[in-house]
Amino acid sequence: MKKLVLTMLSIAGMMLFTALPAKACTSYYVGKDCTKDGTTMYGRTEDISSRKDKVYKVIQAKHVGKNAVYKDESGATEFQAPIKVDTTYRYTICRDNEGDEDGYFGEFGTNSKGVTMSATTSASAARSIRQYDPYVKNTGITEENLTDYILCQASTAREGVEILADVMDTIGAGEGNGLFIADKNEVWYFEMLLGHNYCAIKMPSNKAAVIPNCLVIGDVDLSDKENVIASPNLVKVAKNNGFYVPAQDGKGDINVKLSYTGKGYSAGNADRIRGGQYLLNGQDNTAIYTDDYQDIFINVKNVTVEKLYELAGYRYENMNFGRDISRVIGVKSSAECHIFQIDSSMPAELATVQWVCMGNADMSTFVPFYGALLTDVSRAYKMEAHNYNSRAAYWIFRNVGFLCEDGDNRTAYGKGVKQFYTAYMTKMEELQKNVNAQMLNVYKNDKANLEYYATKLGIAIGDETMDFAKALYADIQTCKADGTTYEVSSLSADDITYDLSMVAAPAKKAESITVTKPDTQIKKVAAPARVKVRAKALKGKKAKVNLKKVAQASGYEIMYSTNMNFTKKATKKVSTTKITKTIRKLKKKKTYYIKARAYKLDGKTKVYGKWSLIKKVVIKK
């Protein structure tokens, strides 16, 4: 197994391979003055392949000492550059699995200092001008290394920008890219223009932008050191070689986009800008197709996480282009999508919620994590599975997309899936507010256990959301077999559990944490966790139901019915010693819906947990 190793400069060089960047991604940004809750949001879709397994994992901190050098130990490039810290920072990363031969390709992540990155939307300068400052192949920094190299050592967003700028000044870039680097206070957009030329701008709080695979930075004032960081020769290279275009506002030093691309946007890129802008502000910007169009920023109001979820999967359903569309945003080739939601009023550890979507957001959903605090993730998220594996998070979420994305399946199955996931996102964003309050309470009263709660909560909500995806997949398979249209009747956003009650208190200092819910009072005995259920039909008109044990449960109830709304139902009691139950005397050729819940005893009173997700079995004979 390959490992990312931080080594000393004296270690031998790596094998010669060239990394292959993702070529069709779409980034998005919304400043805090443009959102409904005053948080800053940014992110990206990674569009490369519908069968490009991704893992989400934690890279632990490592003591490397002084004068250490980062090396690309994947074998994909020869890139190496100095590490500026004695001990690297822990960080989360979403990247290719280690079975891939083209390298790691870290796409997004958060480090323990609260620095976040989204890398990259591949974008290059015009081919005719690359000769004047060529890309540095093999040894230059590329998408393959960007996120790992910067997150392991950047303590602020500006420092991350400066680290990348220094690498481009001294070593160079192996390709063109656009990427975000942020912390709780500011978001920077960095464009790697040529081998040693670049420009980064601090993103405005009162604007939004949709950025496809093209350079988008327009007029810049190089004297504005607070908001612009650029290569020393940015203007000189353009002027000396005849491709310089002055700032269009008459105030700045250069228009980066028109200088380094020489024209407007291609049809595929322009379509994505137009479609994304329309979804965010309702205005159909057809001017985007003109050669001199260069201002990427727009005015929007009241944007939510749910709206960016819709954007990440958007196919221009309510637009009329009057022609075949060159490129939609929500393509089935998205391997992952992500949103960073930043609340500058929160402590750095809690300021950023990292919303992670495995697969295409059009037929998947985002799951929230406190990336700066995670010390681990669920086994399914970090499972390396180059080929299909029903236990790997990527494939669990991607399965539903395979069934729903194309042709008549979008109507027969996709409509119901989209209905459920949209309701899920609405509920999750509301619940996140309560979780933020709970985690802030932990921060103030039991900070030593903050990482513990964030990690356990992340594992719990990740696992719960995977259970929903598994249930959707099973329901659709049943509908395919029956030849029926899928409607989400057996799943509801009301089934979601998302708060610190999902986390068992640590062995010590448990009494210092008060977990509150938005609409309920604290019980003397906390409700048990939701039980997980498996069910299958047996011969002889029977069904076998297996329950997974819940900690401290006093017993369980199983409910079953031929009606998915359980208007006519029967129940079975299950003890804690034998949690497998066989239901007998069922009717032949009937579909049965089965759910279960655990309970604890508060004296003689039963305190019930939430019902499990509903399972279906068909009694054939």
pLDDT at 497: 87
pLDDT at 514: 52
**Number of structural domains in the chain:** 3
What does the DSSP 8-state code read for residue 419? H
Residue at 426 is within a domain:
yes
Q: Which of 344, 377, 410 is the last residue of a domain?
A: 377
**If you search the block for the tokens 């949709």, which residue do you land on?**
210
Instruction: Return the exposure string of 41-75: e unless at least 16 CB atoms fall within 10 Å of the residue's CB, then b.
Output: bbbbbbbbebebbbbbbbbeeeebeeebebbbbbe
Q: What's the CA gap between 399 and 510, in Å, rounded?
A: 39
User: Could you write out the DSSP letters of every residue in 194-261?
Assistant: SSS-EEEEEPPTT-EEEE-SS----EE-TT-TTTEEE-TTHHHHHHHTT-----TTSSSSEEHHHHHH
Which residue, among 94, 25, 119, has the nearest Cα to 331 in the 3D structure? 25
Same domain, 344 and 394: no
* C-alpha distance from residue 607 to each of 135, 208, 552, 600, 617 (Å): 65, 47, 12, 5, 28
Residue at 1 is within a domain:
no
The structure tokens listed for 543 are 């069904």
Same domain, 122 and 235: yes
Same domain, 578 and 516: no
Q: Residue 564: which CATH number?
A: 2.60.40.10
Q: Three-state SS string across 522-537, please?
A: CCCCCCCCCCCEEEEE
Q: Which of 329, 347, 377 is the last residue of a domain?
A: 377
Same domain, 457 and 310: no
The structure tokens listed for 150 are 């910067």
Q: Residue 125: which CATH number?
A: 3.60.60.10
Same domain, 512 and 600: no
Q: What's the CA gap between 345 and 369, in Å, rounded?
A: 18
Same domain, 219 and 295: yes
Q: Which of 465, 497, 522 is the last residue of a domain?
A: 522
pLDDT at 487: 82
Domain range for residue 568? 524-621
Q: Tell me the three state secondary structure of residue 293.
A: coil
Q: What's the CA gap between 503 and 513, in Å, rounded?
A: 11
**If you search the block for the tokens 């009173």, which residue do you land on?**
605
Same domain, 208 and 278: yes
Residues contacting 257, CB < 8 A, separation 6+? 215, 216, 217, 218, 294
Q: What's the CA gap between 125 and 265, in Å, rounded?
A: 12
Residue at 383 is within a domain:
no
pLDDT at 5: 35
Same domain, 56 and 83: yes
pLDDT at 98: 78
In a 13 Å sphere around the CA of 382, the CA atoms on its Cβ side amount to 13
Strands of the 533-538 sheet, one edge to the other: 533-538, 542-547, 580-583
Same domain, 503 and 415: yes
pLDDT at 22: 45
Dihedral angle computed from the Cα positions of residues 246, 247, 248 and 252, in that order, rounded to the nearest 10 degrees:
-140
Q: What is the pTM of this model?
A: 0.85
User: Could you write out the DSSP letters of every residue in 370-406?
Assistant: -TTT-S---TTTT---SS--TTSHHHHHHHHHHHHSS
Task: Give the DSSP H/E element, type plus range, for residue 322.
Answer: none
Residue at 259 is within a domain:
yes
Q: Tell me the three state secondary structure of residue 457.
A: helix
pLDDT at 508: 62
Residue at 95 is within a domain:
yes
Helix 305-312 with 415-445: angle, nearest 10 deg: 140
Which residue, among 205, 226, 270, 227, has the nearest Cα to 41 in the 3D structure? 205
Alpha helices (H) along 405-449: 409, 415-445
Low-confidence ranges of the chain (pLDDT < 70): 1-23, 99-101, 489-490, 508-524
Task: Give the DSSP H/E element, type plus range, for residue 82.
Answer: strand 80-82
**If you search the block for the tokens 């080929």, which residue do you land on?**
387
Residue at 239 is within a domain:
yes
Same domain, 437 and 518: yes
Same domain, 159 and 266: yes
Residue at 384 is within a domain:
no
Contact 43, 338 (CB under 8 A): yes
Residue at 19 is within a domain:
yes
Same domain, 417 and 564: no
Contact 512, 595 (CB under 8 A): no
pLDDT at 16: 30
Q: What's the CA gap between 427 and 84, in Å, rounded?
A: 42
